[in-house]
Homo-oligomer: A and B are copies of this chain.
């Protein structure tokens, strides 16, 4: 592996642990917990792991030696900066428990666990991955750990390797599955603890006890860097509107955080669109209105941030897609036999009046995509829709009408960007490097404490890392019942952007000023070696959320 100069310099960085984890610790139990909702049902589904107490680690004077422990680790789902440091922290933690402890990594995600593909992670191997981005140390994958067969198959390899604890690094779904696995192993007395770690750049795995998921900090900083650069270009050339789509289908935390960091002219927040039952036409009107108002002031340029999942949050589009899925599934053969030129008319004739109007308002390419590109289950593939182009095309059309009506006197030229893969594997910021290392190290403490069904928890994150609070949260505490694929399931509640939360409120208070003026901020690239106010700041989201407390 040829290393870049930065990688070499960063390898020497020693992540800062919470002070409490630097010596011997004891687990102090808090009150017994309840799930956030549906307590009776969740309790019934998790008879062995429901109602456990929160744990908090405190300094201990007990330094009696421990026995070695073998641990397995899985990276699950999409990449997030800092995953390697979780593994490094875990490794250092179990080596501190006993130098003969061993760490096994399952390869390419949960699939490696089920199929017994693994490798032992040794000190020299680990050394190459300290403070680096990516999940390439053992790879990741999207296999879902859900069935008894998978759990039993995985248990075989755990027994073979004498693994007593499994750490699953993943998002809300993966941690939900970790909790189900913990419950199962407990119920059969398998003798294997299961610990989760909160990962996702989307920032939607958080709650009262998990302040943020790792990777969100770094990814939003990378996106803000390039958005800032684009805004500086925009403000230099003064002739383009940049429509910038940002990864994150389920929630708009990324778009909101980037907006707080860069102060674009417009940022759409999906949760607000849904709450206000906004139509696509209203969103288009809103953007076109800002373009026209800026043109009045002589500014024919601007930036628009769009969350990737927007289209699925627009109630009218959701209803259209539902009816389309239904219509095309029921009449598959008939529809397939039509000449391409007749398909549009067919769809319009068969849709309800309301949905036909929405369908008709869409640009032709998007409408075609909605009716043709379906996944193996026959569903419209919403993720293929280039929302940034869809919006700019509709805005252009709207502005043409406004121009004809004398309501727009400027010019409108658009450019498009989509940022996602650019940030998921970036080298972790100091924050994520420290946070992840602490999460992993803390997981080793939970293992030593003998618990299962817990998520590694490190809190007080807006304070310097030495002051962070470490402990464990029973995963069942974060759960409620939700409908998934037609069935009610116990799942970790996803954290959407709260419209009454401080981050959104700060944005809402400023956005009109940002729209009609040019208030761009240029954050620049993540710095690792400079002054603390440049290198060691958490996200604005976290800052505002903590200010509110």
Residues of B within 8 A of A132 (CB): 232, 522
Given contacts A9-B530, A79-B232, A135-B237, 4 further A-B contacts (CB under 8 A): A134-B235, A415-B421, A427-B525, A525-B527
Query: Considering only CB atoms, which chain B residue lies closest to A230 in the complex?
Result: B421
Provide the bound-state CA to CA distance between A522 and B11, in Å: 13
Looking at A92-100, A221-229, A284-292, the stretch in contact with chain B turns out to be A221-229
What are 16 contact pairs spanning A and B, CB under 8 A? A2-B521, A4-B521, A6-B524, A7-B524, A9-B531, A133-B229, A134-B232, A134-B235, A135-B237, A136-B232, A136-B236, A139-B236, A222-B229, A222-B525, A230-B421, A525-B525
The smallest beta-carbon distance between A16 and chain B, in angstroms, is 18
In the complex, A395 has a CB within 8 A of chain B: no
The interface bits of chain A over 405-432 (1 if a CB of B lies within 8 angstroms of the residue's CB, else 0) are 0000000000101000111111100000
Residues of B within 8 A of A530 (CB): 6, 9, 528-530
Provide the bound-state CA to CA distance between A7 and B231, in Å: 15
User: Looking at A2, A226, A232, A528, which has the most chain B CB atoms within 10 Å of its CB?
Assistant: A232
In the complex, A358 has a CB within 8 A of chain B: no
Residues of B within 8 A of A261 (CB): 4
Residues 500 to 549 of chain A near chain B (Cβ within 8 Å): 519, 521-531, 533-534, 537
In the complex, A108 has a CB within 8 A of chain B: yes
Q: A229 contacts B423, CB within 8 Å? A: yes
The interface bits of chain A over 193-230 (1 if a CB of B lies within 8 angstroms of the residue's CB, else 0) are 00000000000000000000000000000100110111
Q: B425 contacts A537, CB within 8 Å? A: no
In the complex, A263 has a CB within 8 A of chain B: yes
Contact among B135, B237, B263, B427 for A140, CB-based, below 8 A? B237
Residues of B within 8 A of A238 (CB): 108, 139
In the complex, A233 has a CB within 8 A of chain B: yes
User: Looking at A136, A222, A523, which has the most chain B CB atoms within 10 Å of its CB?
Assistant: A136
The interface bits of chain A over 1-40 (1 if a CB of B lies within 8 angstroms of the residue's CB, else 0) are 0111111111000000000000000000000000000000
Contact among B79, B415, B537 for A233, CB-based, below 8 A? B79
Provide the bound-state CA to CA distance between A528 and B226, in Å: 17
Residues of B within 8 A of A421 (CB): 229-230, 233, 242, 415, 417
Q: B522 contacts A229, CB within 8 Å? A: no
The interface bits of chain A over 253-284 (1 if a CB of B lies within 8 angstroms of the residue's CB, else 0) are 00000000101000000000000000000000
Q: A537 contacts B5, CB within 8 Å? A: yes
Q: A417-B421, A522-B4 are in contact. Are A79 and B136 (CB under 8 A)?
A: no
Provide the bound-state CA to CA distance between A519 and B423, in Å: 20
Provide the bound-state CA to CA distance between A6 and B523, in Å: 6
The smallest beta-carbon distance between A508 and chain B, in angstroms, is 18
Q: A426 contacts B229, CB within 8 Å? A: yes
Q: A229-B423, A230-B421 are in contact. Are A79 and B522 (CB under 8 A)?
A: no
Q: A527 contacts B524, CB within 8 Å? A: no
Provide the bound-state CA to CA distance between A3 and B522, in Å: 7
Residues of B within 8 A of A534 (CB): 5-6, 9, 529
Residues of B within 8 A of A522 (CB): 4, 7, 132-134, 427
Residues 348 to 376 of chain A near chain B (Cβ within 8 Å): none
The smallest beta-carbon distance between A463 and chain B, in angstroms, is 18
The smallest beta-carbon distance between A532 and chain B, in angstroms, is 9
Q: B425 contacts A229, CB within 8 Å? A: yes
Residues of B within 8 A of A233 (CB): 79, 134, 421, 424-425
Residues of B within 8 A of A527 (CB): 6, 525, 527-529
User: Looking at A3, A422, A526, which has the most chain B CB atoms within 10 Å of its CB?
Assistant: A422
Query: Considering only CB atoms, which chain B residue lies closest to A242 in the complex?
Result: B421
The interface bits of chain A over 139-162 (1 if a CB of B lies within 8 angstroms of the residue's CB, else 0) are 110000000000000000000000
Provide the bound-state CA to CA distance between A527 and B13, in Å: 15
The smallest beta-carbon distance between A258 and chain B, in angstroms, is 13
Provide the bound-state CA to CA distance between A8 and B522, in Å: 11
User: Looking at A417, A522, A537, which has the most chain B CB atoms within 10 Å of its CB?
Assistant: A522
Residues of B within 8 A of A139 (CB): 236-238
Residues of B within 8 A of A235 (CB): 134, 136
The smallest beta-carbon distance between A514 and chain B, in angstroms, is 10
Provide the bound-state CA to CA distance between A264 and B242, in Å: 28
Query: Considering only CB atoms, which chain B residue lies closest to A262 in the complex?
Result: B4
Q: A236 contacts B529, CB within 8 Å? A: no
Query: Considering only CB atoms, which chain B residue lies closest to A519 in the complex?
Result: B2
Provide the bound-state CA to CA distance between A232 and B525, in Å: 18
The smallest beta-carbon distance between A527 and chain B, in angstroms, is 6
Query: Considering only CB atoms, which chain B residue lies closest to A365 in the complex?
Result: B365
Q: A79 contacts B236, CB within 8 Å? A: yes
